[in-house]
Structure 1
Amino acid sequence: MYYSTVYPSPVGMLTLACDGENLVGLWLEGQKYFGSTIRGEMTERNEIPVFAVAKEWLDRYFAGEKPAASELPLRPMGSAFRQDVWQVLRGIPYGTVTTYGEIAKRIAAKNNRESMSGQAVGGAVGHNPISIIIPCHRVVGANGSLTGFAGGIGAKIKLLALEGVDMSRLCVPKKGTAL
Structure 2
Amino acid sequence: MSQEMNFYCITGGPGVGKTSLLNQLGTIYPIIPEVARQIIREQMDNQGEALPWKNKAHYTELMLERSVKSYREVQLSNTKSPVFFDRSILDTLCYAEMIGYGISAEMDFCARTYRYNPKVFILPPWSAIYTTDEERKQTWEEAEQTYGLMKATYEKYDYQVIEVPKDTVENRKCFVLGELS
Q: TM-score, normalised by structure 1?
A: 0.30
More helix by share: 2
- The structure whose RCO (Cα within 8 Å, separation 6+) is larger is 2
